[in-house]
Amino acid sequence: MENGAVYSPTTEEDPGPARGPRSGLAAYCFLGRLPLLRRVLKGLQLLLSLLAFICEEVVSQCTLCGGLYFFEFVSCSAFLLSLLILIVYCTPFYERVDTTKVKSSDFYITLGTGCVFLLASIIFVSTHDRTSAEIAAIVFGFIASFMFLLDFVTMLYEKRQESQLRKSENTTRAEALTEPLNA
């Protein structure tokens, strides 16, 4: 037997790069599923909630600690939830789950997180001891909550645009079906 006859059906001549032009961790991360505005908002949510959490952790003492502890819980939860949603959007996991469920989950998680983060920031404002770390945490908390709510408004606008597009397509189809065939 010749070597060519044994190996030709199963061996590629030039397999090329294993994963295409991107390799390693970059091969698994794809940011194109989100529009640019939503990517920026998601990145800001992640960064600002992390900064709020870090600034809150620096606080060494408090007189009314309930607001601080609630803010700590909410800022950490906001960071982890925004990280989770970003990971789902940017990895191949997005293709394995129902995309409508991912978008719906993102919609409600973003709304809930924004509202609770805003509430936690308001409560923390009323109970803080006016240290620089607390003030920084409050500022980052308010800005992060506004980023979550702005992202929610953006998703609401996109849903409304899709709904209007579907409605106009359905009316066009209905008009085409009601026209006589001989016209």
Domains of the chain: 36-56+63-162 (1.20.120)
- Global pTM exceeds 0.75: yes
Structure tokens at 130: 């006016």
Task: Give the span between the Cα atoms of 73 and 1, in whole angstroms.
Answer: 70
Q: Which residue has the tokens 């909550």?
A: 145
Q: Considering the chain, what is the average pLDDT of its residues?
A: 86
pLDDT digits (tens, 9 = 90+) for 5-36: 555 555 555 555 554 555 666 667 787 888 99
pLDDT digits (tens, 9 = 90+) for 42-58: 999 999 999 999 999 99
- The tally of CA atoms less than 13 A away on the side-chain side of residue 153 is 8
